[in-house]
Amino acid sequence: MYWGGPPDSGPVATIPSMTFPNPVEYPATSPCIKVCQLDLTDRCFGCGRTRAEIARWSRMTDDERRAVNRRLGFEGHGVNR
């Protein structure tokens, strides 16, 4: 980034490039931990998915599965939290 006229018009003030950590890559794997009981709002106590998400899981695309996992904060089995 520069301030002033066109880049060829003289000295240019620059901003050092900023690096950001990569966003979390959410997996398309099931967050199920085999504690399959629904609460009164139809959410699973084990994984947090809704009844509808559990029922549709096998027909979801990988992107849809990742969106569910992102909402749940599920980063994969064995990931330290």
Q: Where are the domains of the chain?
A: 48-74
Tokens 């939290």 correspond to 81
Contact 29, 77 (CB under 8 A): yes
**Which residue did the predictor score with more confidence, 8 or 56?**
56
Question: Which amino acid appears at position 52 of this protein?
Answer: A
What are 11's two structure tokens?
């000295």
Judged against a pLDDT cut of 60, whether residue 49 lies above it is answered with yes
* Distance, CA of 25 to CA of 10 (rounded, Å): 43
Q: List beta partners, residue 43.
A: 50
Judged against a pLDDT cut of 70, whether residue 46 lies above it is answered with yes
What mean pLDDT is predicted for residues 68-76? Answer: 93
Contact 75, 24 (CB under 8 A): yes
